[in-house]
Amino acid sequence: MAGRALHGVAVGRRNSLSAGSRVGGERAAAIYTVIQTCKANGVDPHAHIDDVVARIAGDWSASR
């Protein structure tokens, strides 16, 4: 079980080598954090990110 949990970290570390810049790596780390937190809490990461993007695009004002 622990090996499976660390697999995402290893893949992320390998992918971060091609992030292009420090900012790109920080953004990738933020996305990996959201995905792993969703998985740890039994939430579908894809559905969660879709929901957040839909709220930002449609329901929230620009000042928010």
Q: Which two tokens stand for residue 44?
A: 């579908």
Closest Cα partner for 58 from 46, 27, 34, 50? 50
For residue 16, is pLDDT > 70?
no
- Predicted pLDDT of residue 31: 87
For residue 40, is pLDDT > 60?
yes
State how far the Cα of 3 lies from the Cα of 53, in Å rounded to an integer.
31
- Predicted pLDDT of residue 3: 60
Contact present, 37 and 24 (Cβ < 8 Å): no
User: pLDDT grade, residue 21 (50/70/90)?
Assistant: confident
